[in-house]
């Protein structure tokens, strides 16, 4: 057996570099002669810059350049407002005197040292003609909501008819607040120009799209842009696209003729690197007394920026998760003077599942049904929204196996009846589903023979954002070349390498590994062909090189979705169980333990897959605990502007987590049977916690996060 | 950060001599350096006082302790004598920040922690504390974490210290040294001030005065103590509301109570009336609830912090209950 | 000759100093694997992988080769920065924090900038054995202090047991908070030995040395290091193994065939 092949729980192959501090993140590359840039942010939510005074800043020793819209390079700009942004969208900046939101970049200082740049940036004085009525109040702007596109709405059957037929109806609204990704590594870039070519060491999840965005923004050929993201200190969606600090650094490097390093501050991470928008989700569920769903409506109202569009599809889960004949899903957006939102881990599912899975729990309680049985009763093996089968769907197994592991039978149906001292104990469950996409991927393998030993190098422009890409790609190569990972080097994160879709949307593992597999398979089969060896003959890679009299061999390969994949709905499924202890008086609560069951195709490495799941659970717990970004009602800025205001979970917030993987290889999904796991973990976690809090206290907490201040003021509903 | 000159004072007199109108002493730096990065604090000179001697804990005649101002928060909280005589103080100090920050932060510095009001931190917003006369953004803004007691039209900020809440409950004297060579004692209740018309002043220290020690009274709450900190996450967060409770119980009766709330006012909020109410009473839930009612009677919540009234009551009752039930 | 070529030559000729040997060992590169490793690195990838291994800044003695700051500095201070048993005299702007001095002046980028405001713990280093935040420490205040960063934990080519445990228990994902987590964990081992207490310590009046920390105690004491990837449970396992020899592995399992059959029943 291959001890380091696919499915083995090996240690991360890049782990050594990480535990010794030697892994190099974007701002750590030893680029000589570099200078430092500091962005300046607008202090109004909407308005026009009327004057700029750079005189004080210019006096500061070491200042090399101050860039504002007045002297910025002309870049490709959006030709119209409300363009829907994608991962390769241009990132123009400082192109006009208009301000669209509080914190938008209005300038940049470049100086010899970090300290000088930071200081001087404070001294540039902007005056604005301020719009007195910026669009910053979500509640007052409902009439401005618009339908982004035809796909924003979906309907099957007749929702009103379904509700009329129901014995019980749930009609409630759930709110998830603005959230921020906040990877630990601040977005950073070192940009330089050399003979008209750009090199950017940048913290990006999708290298190829980054080169596209930079080249289009600066109107230079794509081949003249090199992006390097060897290590990415977390992304969670915020590093999918090129944010404007990259443009600023590239522009500045051109102007000063030296490499420019720019690190976004933690406060700027709130205003300049994307966000998950506030979603107000109106849920209507109808069910018969026996638990049969008759109707499911999911209407989402959220916001985008004043000039660009991004829509998170909260209602996606409601279209496909349950067997309900009458279904209506809508999405509306309000343009606001707030930064353009962008995808954050499981966009749509993480938030949509809070509304759906809490509403399902409410209905189960109303029906006096066990919430697990209620879900199982409404299971479906067909994706009704597409009228096509799921490639595989083991949701029922997830729920049942999880229930057993968790000890669900000890749950008390009546809230508030399980108490231990000052603690009220609650159990909660929720179902999870997350789209498992898969995209065209290319890779290269370089075989090298020394003595009898073959070593291999895999190259792809894929990234490892903590997801374990280095490791699972090495394991794939090990599997398909038949050599241990110690003899394999994986090189990622360089746009000079073969193109992959990058890390995002849970497609990384399936795409990268199938891509690497293809190159390795090609290497083997090409070497066999040259010597007329049958494909079925088992010959070691060393022997193949030997017979070909080669000490080096390079092969390329690519993988892409099959027709079968296109004809199926490919999703990962899961179930979350939480035991939560709520203090009966103080509003404080804690997670006691969690169980997660995941059906995510072939598990390439249970160790790193476990990491993805507990990581998702932690971020999901964060949604329930305290994460929220608040908009200041008089100024339009974010009042939560640091890690001291925006509380992500700490170690003590978490507790024991049992993770169960279902043994599964979804060959419809792709040849290796892999489905995504990076976003499955966060999906519906907050709902399982919210449902547990209800079970503990009888309080329905429909607005995240569930802070002590809210909980202490909430009234029990039973 | 604005430029500043750095002076490493070899001793106290050198430190005091180095004082200028816009100089700052540098102790642990955990609050000061952060605020300098935020452009909120703008000293043109830092006087490093880490070489000063005040790093000892000594025992007084009445059995009380004197804590050196330059001792770190973790050295203080973990000191055997502090733990055995003032576990309430240790508990409050250990609830604060993180091990890393407690290793850096000094006792003197803890007393001078500035508010966490976001309007104070964000230089583009009005704040009378940061920029007198600019207005108070929080009064009619997002005041969920702000004061319910003792605020003024010019400032609704709260004091963020945990240590100070315990000190208010226990009682203490702060010893300070002035630049003219004299020293004085300030009663802890007079050390911090309410915002009034001068919210830029957090304390009653005179310019250039240096905290050298904190004197604690005879220990009486070592058997019955509790510091309850209610916050948005389980650790590494400032309190929404906190309660420090120390009880002296003899023969089933409370002989003395020390009680203070954090997160509710511009200074640690000593609950003198509740303390007096509890003295001579039995440690029962009913009495605790009455003490809590008494404590919150004058609360005046702002638009977004109504919850603090209820939370304060619950915190008081819980802290007193925990203090009572603690096995001596 | 670029940095990598220099190294290739050095390794080929076996002309390595003790420190260089040590670092290559530490990277798991010994004997023939070194040559192989270098061979494998293609020209295109030089700056990606190679630089992460072979920048001169990883090597102690070359710290002095770093360019002298050419800038005119306001409020210049000088400090002999004693890091990982090496001393580097630096002339700096008084505003430079220890964090920026490490990362930007002496290229010890293992210590991370996660917030720059003392709110995340990524910049944790040990100063005179105590864990502290380098982002809130001015470099100027570090004269005569012994600073240990993540780069200084491995010795004689061997990883520190805590580094080993983090690897084994997968106590990280993206790796960015990891140096801070590890420095914090190493310091915590000492704090436990010294009998230091925490907010969740049951009885503060009871003082004893050589504490065996409960899971809750470990979690509270490690709460000053934020991991956004959410590797907390694995971090706790890693710490436990070194602290108390408790070698419990992460609790993942695969459902059995029988369980699948049972659960699949209608």
Q: Out of B116, B141, B307, whose CB is closest to A709?
A: B307
DSSP A82: S
What are B217-274's pLDDT values in tens digits? 999 999 999 999 999 999 999 999 999 999 999 999 999 999 999 999 999 999 999 9
What are A415-444's pLDDT values in tens digits? 999 999 999 999 999 999 999 999 999 999
The answer to whether A660 contacts C253, with C-beta atoms less than 8 Å apart, is yes
Mean pLDDT of A59-82: 97
> What percentage of chain A reaches a pLDDT higher than 90?
99
Strands of the sheet with A63-68, listed across from one edge: A63-68, A105-111, A35-41, A260-263, A188-194, A197-202, A225-228
Residue A192 has pLDDT above 80, yes or no: yes
Phi, then psi, of B192 in degrees rounded to 5:
-90, 160
Please tell me if residue A196 touches chain C, with a CB cutoff of 8 Å.
no
Mean pLDDT of A176-205: 98
Please give, rounded to a whole number of angstroms, the shortest distance from the CA of B162 to a CA of chain C: 12
Q: Give pLDDT, residue C36.
A: 53
Q: How many CB atoms lie within 10 A of CB C141?
A: 22
Q: Give pLDDT, residue C62.
A: 42
Q: Which of C64, C57, C151, C136 is nearest to C98 (CA)?
A: C136
Please give, rounded to a whole number of angstroms, the shortest distance from the CA of B128 to a CA of chain C: 23
The answer to whether B8 contacts C143, with C-beta atoms less than 8 Å apart, is yes
The answer to whether B80 contacts C207, with C-beta atoms less than 8 Å apart, is yes
Contact list in A for residue B140 (CB cut-off 8 A) is 634
Which residues numbered 145-184 in C keep a CB inside 8 Å of some CB on A? 149-151, 153-154, 159, 163-164, 166-168, 170, 172-179, 182
Please tell me if residue B121 touches chain A, with a CB cutoff of 8 Å.
yes
The answer to whether C229 contacts A230, with C-beta atoms less than 8 Å apart, is no
Chains touching A, CB cut-off 8 Å, 3+ pairs: B, C
Mean pLDDT of A563-574: 97
What are C15-64's pLDDT values in tens digits? 776 656 655 655 555 555 555 555 544 333 333 344 444 433 333 334 44
Helix (H) or strand (E) holding B163: helix B163-170
The answer to whether A630 contacts B237, with C-beta atoms less than 8 Å apart, is no
Chain A: residue nearest B120 by CA? Answer: A639
Report CA C243 to chain centroid distance, whole Å. Answer: 18
Q: Give pLDDT, residue B326.
A: 85
Answer whether the bond into residue A705 is a cis peptide, omega within 30°.
Answer: yes
What are C87-97's pLDDT values in tens digits? 999 999 999 99
Question: Which region holds residue A211: left if phi is over 0, alpha if psi is between -120 and 50, else beta?
Answer: alpha
The answer to whether B125 contacts A637, with C-beta atoms less than 8 Å apart, is yes
Cβ atoms A183, A5 nearer than 8 A? no
Greatest extent of chain A over all pairs of C-alpha atoms, in Å: 79
The DSSP string of B111-158 is HTPPP--HHHH-TTS-BTTTSTTS-BTTTTS--TTS-SSS-BTTB---
The answer to whether C94 contacts B95, with C-beta atoms less than 8 Å apart, is no
What are C116-147's pLDDT values in tens digits? 999 999 999 999 999 999 999 999 999 999 99
Contact list in A for residue C41 (CB cut-off 8 A) is 457, 489, 491
Angle (nearest 5°) at CA C197 between C196 and C201? 150
Q: Out of B3, B37, B87, whose CB is closest to C74?
A: B3
Whole-number Å distance between alpha carbons of A512 and A518:
10
Whole-number Å distance between alpha carbons of C184 and B315:
32
Q: Give pLDDT, residue C71.
A: 64
List residues in chain C touching B: CB distance below 8 A: 74-75, 77, 93-95, 97, 116-118, 121, 124, 130-133, 136-138, 140-141, 143, 184, 187-188, 191, 194-199, 201, 203-205, 207, 219-221, 223-226
Please give, rounded to a whole number of angstroms, the shortest distance from the CA of B153 to a CA of chain A: 17
The answer to whether C254 contacts A661, with C-beta atoms less than 8 Å apart, is yes
3-state secondary structure of A664: coil
3-state secondary structure of A233: coil
Which residues numbered 80-139 in A keep a CB inside 8 Å of some CB on B? 115, 118-119, 122
Contact list in C for residue B79 (CB cut-off 8 A) is none
The answer to whether C223 contacts B236, with C-beta atoms less than 8 Å apart, is yes
Please give, rounded to a whole number of angstroms, the shortest distance from the CA of A395 to a CA of chain C: 10
Q: Give pLDDT, residue A182.
A: 98
3-state secondary structure of A571: strand
The answer to whether B104 contacts C137, with C-beta atoms less than 8 Å apart, is yes
Average pLDDT of chain A to the nearest whole number: 97
What are C187-235's pLDDT values in tens digits? 999 999 999 999 999 999 999 999 999 999 999 999 999 999 999 999 9
The answer to whether C199 contacts B229, with C-beta atoms less than 8 Å apart, is yes
Q: Give pLDDT, residue C157.
A: 83
Please tell me if residue A642 touches chain B, with a CB cutoff of 8 Å.
yes
Whole-number Å distance between alpha carbons of A176 and A178:
7
Residue C12's pLDDT band (boundaries 50, 70, 90)? low
Residue A2's pLDDT band (boundaries 50, 70, 90)? confident
Mean pLDDT of A45-63: 97
Angle (nearest 5°) at CA A317 between A314 and A320? 145
Pairing of strands A47-53, A125-130: antiparallel
Chains touching C, CB cut-off 8 Å, 3+ pairs: A, B
Q: Give pLDDT, residue B176.
A: 98
Q: Which of A545, A450, A480 is nearest to C34 (CA)?
A: A450
Chain B: residue nearest A650 by CA? Answer: B235
Whole-number Å distance between alpha carbons of A492 and C65:
30
Buried b (16+ CB within 10 A) or exposed e, A601-636: bbbbbbbbbbbbbbbbbbbbbbbbbbbbbbbbeebb
The answer to whether B104 contacts C124, with C-beta atoms less than 8 Å apart, is no
Global pTM? 0.96
Q: Give pLDDT, residue A395.
A: 98
Residue A321 has pLDDT above 50, yes or no: yes
Residue B148's alpha-carbon distances to B308, B309, C152, in angstroms, are 7, 8, 49
Residue B199's pLDDT band (boundaries 50, 70, 90)? very high
Residue A146's pLDDT band (boundaries 50, 70, 90)? very high
Q: Give pLDDT, residue A359.
A: 98
Chain B: residue nearest A711 by CA? Answer: B307
Worst-scoring range by mean pLDDT, A154-163, A474-483, C30-39, C189-198? C30-39
Please tell me if residue C213 touches chain A, with a CB cutoff of 8 Å.
no
What are A254-310's pLDDT values in tens digits? 999 999 999 999 999 999 999 999 999 999 999 999 999 999 999 999 999 999 999
Q: Give pLDDT, residue C265.
A: 83
Q: Annotated catalytic sites of A, by residue?
A: 679
Q: Give pLDDT, residue C41.
A: 44
Buried b (16+ CB within 10 A) or exposed e, A164-180: ebbeebbebebbbbbbb
Q: Out of A43, A588, A650, whose CB is closest to B236?
A: A650
Q: Give pLDDT, residue A578.
A: 98
Measured between alpha carbons, how far apart are the two ends of chain B, in Å? 50
Please give, rounded to a whole number of angstroms, the shortest distance from the CA of C218 to a CA of chain B: 12
Please give, rounded to a whole number of angstroms, the shortest distance from the CA of B6 to a CA of chain C: 6
Q: In chain B, which ranges are E strands?
A: 5-8, 23-26, 45-48, 57-59, 65-68, 173-177, 183-187, 210-215, 224-230, 241-250, 253-262, 269-270
What are A505-543's pLDDT values in tens digits? 999 999 999 999 999 999 999 999 999 999 999 999 999
In a mutational test of the B interface, the residue from A644, A699, A711 whose CB has the highest number of chain B CBs within 10 Å is A644
Mean pLDDT of A205-209: 98
Chain C: residue nearest A593 by CA? Answer: C233
């Amino acid at each position: 057996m291959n001890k380091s092949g696919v499915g083995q729980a090996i240690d991360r192959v890049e782990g050594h570099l990480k535990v010794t501090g030697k892994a190099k993140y974007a701002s750590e590359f030893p680029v000589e002669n570099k200078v430092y840039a500091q962005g300046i942010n607008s202090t109004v939510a909407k308005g026009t810059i009327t004057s700029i005074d750079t005189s004080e800043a210019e006096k500061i020793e070491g200042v090399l350049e101050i860039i504002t819209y007045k002297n910025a390079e002309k870049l490709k700009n959006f030709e119209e407002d409300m363009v829907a942004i994608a991962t390769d969208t241009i990132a123009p900046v400082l192109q006009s005197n208009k301000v669209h939101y509080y914190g938008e970049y209005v300038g940049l200082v470049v100086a010899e040292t970090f300290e000088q740049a930071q200081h001087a940036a404070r001294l540039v004085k902007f005056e604005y003609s301020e719009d007195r009525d910026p669009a910053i109040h979500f509640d007052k702007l409902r009439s401005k909501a618009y339908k982004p596109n035809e796909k924003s709405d979906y309907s099957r059957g007749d929702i009103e008819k379904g509700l009329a037929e129901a014995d019980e109806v749930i009609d409630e609204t759930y709110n998830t607040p603005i959230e921020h990704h906040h990877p630990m590594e601040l977005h950073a870039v070192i940009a330089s120009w050399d003979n008209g070519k750009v090199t950017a060491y940048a913290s990006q999840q999708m290298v190829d799209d980054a080169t596209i965005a930079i080249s289009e923004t600066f109107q230079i050929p794509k081949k003249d842009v090199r992006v390097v993201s060897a290590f990415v200190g977390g992304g969670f969606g915020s590093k999918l696209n090129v944010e404007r600090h990259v443009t600023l650094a590239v522009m500045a490097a051109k102007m000063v003729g030296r490499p420019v390093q720019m690190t976004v501050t933690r406060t700027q991470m709130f205003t300049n690197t994307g966000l998950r928008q506030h979603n107000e989700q109106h849920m209507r569920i109808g069910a018969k007394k026996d638990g049969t769903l008759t109707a499911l409506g999911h209407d989402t109202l959220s916001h985008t920026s004043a000039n660009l569009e991004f829509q998170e599809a909260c209602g996606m889960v409601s279209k496909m998760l349950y067997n309900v004949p009458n279904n209506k899903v809508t999405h509306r957006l309000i343009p606001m003077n707030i930064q353009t939102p962008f995808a954050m881990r499981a966009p749509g599912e993480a938030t949509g599942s809070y509304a759906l899975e809490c509403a399902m729990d409410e209905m189960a309680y109303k029906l006096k049904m066990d919430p697990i049985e209620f879900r199982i009763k409404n299971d479906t093996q067909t994706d009704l929204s597409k009228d096509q089968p799921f490639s595989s769907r083991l949701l029922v197994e997830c729920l049942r196996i999880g229930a057993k592991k968790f000890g669900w039978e000890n749950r008390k149906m009546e809230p508030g009846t399980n108490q231990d001292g000052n603690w009220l104990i609650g159990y909660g469950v929720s179902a999870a589903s997350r789209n498992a996409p898969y995209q065209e991927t290319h890779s290269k393998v370089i075989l090298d023979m020394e003595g009898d030993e073959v070593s291999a190098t895999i190259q792809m422009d894929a990234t490892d954002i903590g997801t374990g890409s280095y490791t699972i790609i090495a394991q794939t190569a090990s599997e398909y070349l038949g050599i241990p990972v110690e003899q394999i080097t994986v090189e990622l994160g360089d746009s000079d390498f073969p193109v992959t879709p990058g890390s995002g949307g849970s497609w990384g593992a399936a795409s990268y590994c199938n891509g690497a597999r293809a190159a390795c398979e090609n290497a083997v089969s090409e070497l066999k062909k040259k010597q007329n060896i049958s494909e079925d003959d088992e010959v070691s890679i060393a022997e193949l090189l030997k017979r070909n009299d080669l000490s080096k061999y390079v092969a390329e390969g690519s993988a892409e979705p099959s027709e079968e994949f296109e004809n199926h709905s490919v999703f990962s499924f899961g179930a979350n169980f939480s035991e939560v202890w709520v203090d009966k008086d103080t509003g404080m609560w804690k997670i006691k333990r969690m169980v997660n069951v995941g059906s995510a195709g072939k598990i390439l490495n249970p160790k790193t897959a476990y990491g993805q799941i507990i990581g998702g659970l932690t971020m999901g717990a964060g949604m329930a605990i305290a994460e929220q970004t608040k908009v200041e009602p008089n100024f339009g800025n974010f009042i939560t502007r640091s890690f001291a205001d925006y509380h992500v979970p700490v170690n003590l917030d978490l507790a024991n987590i049992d993770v169960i993987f279902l043994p599964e290889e979804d060959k419809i999904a792709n040849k290796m049977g892999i489905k995504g796991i990076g976003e499955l973990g966060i999906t519906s976690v907050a709902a399982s916690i919210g449902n547990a809090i209800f079970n503990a206290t009888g309080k329905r907490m429909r607005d995240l996060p569930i802070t002590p201040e809210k909980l202490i003021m909430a009234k029990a509903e039973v | 950060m604005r430029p500043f000159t750095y002076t490493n004072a070899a001793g106290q007199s050198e430190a005091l001599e180095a004082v200028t109108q816009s100089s700052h002493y540098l102790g642990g730096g955990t609050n000061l350096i952060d605020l300098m990065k935020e452009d909120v604090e703008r000293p043109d000179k830092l006087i490093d006082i880490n070489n000063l001697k005040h790093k000892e804990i000594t025992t007084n005649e009445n059995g009380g302790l004197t804590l050196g101002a330059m001792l770190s928060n973790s050295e203080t909280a973990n000191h055997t004598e502090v733990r055995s005589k003032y576990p309430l103080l240790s508990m409050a100090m250990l609830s604060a920040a993180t091990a890393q920050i407690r290793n850096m932060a000094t006792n003197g510095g803890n007393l001078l922690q500035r508010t966490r009001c976001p309007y104070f931190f964000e230089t583009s917003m009005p704040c009378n504390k940061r920029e007198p006369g600019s207005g108070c953004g929080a009064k009619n803004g997002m005041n969920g974490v702000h004061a319910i007691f003792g605020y003024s039209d010019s400032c609704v900020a709260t004091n963020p210290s945990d240590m100070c809440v315990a000190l208010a409950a226990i009682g203490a004297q702060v010893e300070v040294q002035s630049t003219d060579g004299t020293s004085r004692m300030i009663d802890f209740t007079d050390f911090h001030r309410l915002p009034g018309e001068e919210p830029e002043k957090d304390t009653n220290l005179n310019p250039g005065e240096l905290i050298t020690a904190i004197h604690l009274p005879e220990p009486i709450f070592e058997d019955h103590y509790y510091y309850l900190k209610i916050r948005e996450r389980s650790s590494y967060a400032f309190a929404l509301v906190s309660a420090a409770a120390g009880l002296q119980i003899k023969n089933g009766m409370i002989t003395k109570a020390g009680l203070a709330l954090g997160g509710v006012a511009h200074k640690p909020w000593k609950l003198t009336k509740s303390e007096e109410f509890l003295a001579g009473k039995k440690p029962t839930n009913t009495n605790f609830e009455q003490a809590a009612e008494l404590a919150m009677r004058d609360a005046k919540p702002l638009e977004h912090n109504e919850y603090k009234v209820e939370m304060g009551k619950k915190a008081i009752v819980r802290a007193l209950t925990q203090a009572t039930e603690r096995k001596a | 000759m670029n940095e990598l070529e220099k190294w290739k030559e050095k390794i080929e000729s076996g002309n390595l100093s003790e420190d260089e040997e040590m670092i290559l060992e530490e990277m798991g590169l010994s004997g023939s694997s070194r040559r192989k490793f270098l061979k494998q690195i293609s020209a295109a990838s030089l700056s990606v992988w190679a630089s992460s291994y072979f920048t001169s800044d990883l090597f102690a003695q070359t710290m002095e080769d770093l360019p002298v700051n050419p800038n005119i500095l306001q409020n210049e201070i000088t400090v002999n920065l004693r890091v990982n048993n090496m001393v580097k005299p630096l002339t700096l702007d008084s505003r430079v924090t220890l964090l920026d001095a490490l990362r930007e002046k002496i290229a010890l980028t293992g210590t991370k900038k996660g917030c720059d405001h003392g709110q995340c713990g990524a910049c944790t280093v040990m100063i005179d054995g105590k864990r502290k935040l380098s982002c809130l420490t001015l470099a100027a205040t570090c004269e005569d202090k012994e600073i240990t960063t993540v780069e200084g934990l491995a010795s004689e080519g061997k990883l520190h047991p805590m580094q080993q445990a983090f690897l084994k228990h997968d106590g990280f994902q993206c790796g960015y908070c990891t140096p801070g987590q590890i420095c914090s964990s190493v310091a915590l081992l000492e704090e436990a030995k010294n009998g230091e207490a925490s907010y969740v310590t049951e009885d503060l009046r009871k003082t004893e040395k050589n504490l065996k920390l409960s899971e809750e105690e470990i979690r509270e004491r490690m709460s000053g290091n934020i991991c956004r990837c959410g590797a907390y449970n694995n971090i706790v396992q890693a710490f436990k193994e070194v602290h108390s020899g408790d070698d419990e592995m992460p609790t993942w399992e695969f459902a059995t065939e029988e369980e699948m059959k049972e659960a699949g029943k209608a």
